Amino acid sequence: MSDLNQALATKYKGNFLKEVIDNVEEGDMVQMCMQCGVCAGSCPMGPHWEHTPQKIFMMIRANKREEVLASDSMWMCTSCYNCIARCPRELPITHIMHGLATYAKRLNLVPKTQPTAKFAQLFWNNLTSKGRVNELKLGISLYFMNGFGEGVKTAMANQKLGLNMLKTKRMAINEAWGGHSVKDKSGFHAMLKKAAEIESDSIEANSK
């Protein structure tokens, strides 16, 4: 358990809901859930994950800190927004799920083998390096996510598709060297740094 995690757990002992309200984006809406279960019934990923949003929210109120933060549920969310569209209490469920994912990640509690968490990291790294998504690099890094051997195999299997995309100019091969970027890259990085700073300062402060 990381020090920060330990500190927060101690600070909010017995009141995980309060911890979520203070530290998770839109976490204050968790208490407004009325447990109707419409989100759980609407979720296309419903049968495939550990806990439905309804359960996650109930677990937060029931102080199940470790179980919530280590759950795979928020990583399985595809952001289809079905739950938000249908929630009778108009809770931003998708956003809360992402907020919880971010918080779990910060506390280093993400399940180690969670592929969507891995993909999210790849995507983030790709995006933040130049401020633009480099699709070619993202695709390649995705192929090689689970090791070199599997990467080659996947690449070979998609060979024909790749060539066709090249022919129809759907894939820019020169992206492999550098690739395009936002105009003010250093400004972009400074902005991200500041945001991260604000965020961790606030959580840091809450942990004391």
Partner 1 sequence: MADEIKTGAYICKGCDLGNRLNTDQLEMIATREGRVASAKSHDFLCGAEGVKMIQDDLDSGESNRVVIAACSRRAKTDAFNFAGVPMSRVNLREGVIWVRPDEDEAQETTQEMAEDYVRMGCAEIKFMSTPKASEEQGTNRHVLVVGGGITGMTAAIEAARAGYQVSLVEKTDALGGTTGQLYKRAPTRAPYADPEDTGVTELAQMLEDDDKVTIYLNSILSSSDGAPGRFDIEITTGDATQSISCGSIIQASGQTEFDANQLTEFSYADAPDVITQLEMEALAKAADGGPVKRPSDGKEVQNVVFVQCAGQRSDKEGHLSYCSGHCCNTSIKQAMYLKDNAEAAAEGSSIDVQTTILFTDLRTPGAGGEDFYRSGQNKGVTFRKGSVSGVSADAKVSFSDLILDEDDTIDADLVVLATGMIPNSGRNNEREDELAAQKTQLEAENKEVPQEILDEIAIPVESILNLKYRQGSDLPQLVSGFNDSHFICFPYETRRTGIYAAGPTRRPMDTQQAQEDATGATMKAIQAIENAGQGMAAHPRAGDLSYPSFRKEGCTQCKRCMMECPFGAIGFDEKGFPEYNEARCRRCGTCMGACPVRVISFENYSIDSVGQQIKACDIPDEFDEKPRLLVLACENDAYPALDMAAQNRFEYSAFVRVVPVRCLGSVNTIWITDALNSGYDGVVLMGCKKGDDYQCHFVKGSEMAHMRMSKIADTLQTLNLEEERVAVHEVAITDIHRVPELINDMAKTIDEIGMSPFKF
- Contacting residues toward partner 1, per CB under 8 A: 14-15, 17-18, 31-35, 54-55, 58-59, 61-62, 64, 89
What is the closest distance, in whole angstroms, from the C-beta atom of residue 51 to partner 1 in the complex?
9
SS3 state at 208:
coil
Residue 18 or 137 having the CB closest to partner 1: 18
Helices (H), 26-175: 38-42, 53-61, 65-69, 73-76, 82-86, 93-106, 115-130, 135-143, 148-157, 159-167
What is the closest distance, in whole angstroms, from the C-beta atom of residue 57 to partner 1 in the complex?
9
Residue 10 or 168 having the CB closest to partner 1: 10
Residue 154 or 206 having the CB closest to partner 1: 206
Instruction: DSSP letter for 28, please.
Output: G
What is the closest distance, in whole angstroms, from the C-beta atom of residue 69 to partner 1 in the complex?
16
Q: Is 177 left (phi over 0), alpha (psi -120 to 50) or beta?
A: beta
CA distances from 204 to 5, 28, 53, 127, 192 (A): 10, 19, 27, 26, 18
What is the closest distance, in whole angstroms, from the C-beta atom of residue 55 to partner 1 in the complex?
6
Residue 64 or 189 having the CB closest to partner 1: 64
